[in-house]
Amino acid sequence: MKNVGVMTLDEVIRVMLEPYFSSVRYLRMANFNYPSIEGYFEINNSCYCEETGHFTLTELSICYNQLAYTFFGYSAQEGLVGDYGKVPIEIFRGLRHRNMLIPKVREITFKKQINPKKFYGSINFGKAREFKGSGFFDTSFRFWDKNGGNASGEILLAKV
């Protein structure tokens, strides 16, 4: 990929979702407000089973990842990720799946079923720390729909 310079948030979403099968690119748009990001999602067909009619833990993981990758990709190019300085998206895109993982899920609560056809999600990035050369990020998230569907929780992310 040639150097394309600084990308818009929509372009970052496109790049961050490239590794996903087209049918599993659920994130449609996002709003970035450091240290948080909010997104709009659509899941027209489940990627793993017959239609459940509601948002499941599997889809939550995929949507969380897509929103988190977008957050870090955009933050990296803007120079907002610690001491790394500005990291061009061409470099960050190669790191996203191999170097980012979830070492701990602290809590996930489904309060009311979410309609997967149209819903929203947000991630707030809290405390960041370094341990043995890896960066750890406390995050809290929430997914919801217009009918009161709601899921929330906390995840520890790591950049190794």
> Is 56 a domain residue?
yes
Number of domain units in the chain:
1
- How much is the pTM? 0.90
> Is 77 a domain residue?
yes
The answer to whether 101 and 160 are in contact (CB under 8 A) is: yes
Helix axes 57-78, 9-16, angle to 10 degrees: 130
Residue 56's domain comprises: 9-103+113-123
In this prediction, residue 86 has a pLDDT band, given cuts at 50, 70 and 90, of confident
CATH of the domain at 64: 3.10.129.30
Any idea what DSSP says for residue 49? Answer: S
Helix spans in 85-156 (H): 89-95
> Is 41 a domain residue?
yes
Averaged confidence pLDDT in the chain: 87
> Is 141 a domain residue?
no
> Is 131 a domain residue?
no
> Is 137 a domain residue?
no
Residue 25: pLDDT over 60: yes
> Is 160 a domain residue?
no
pLDDT tens for each residue of 33-54: 999 999 999 998 877 777 666 7
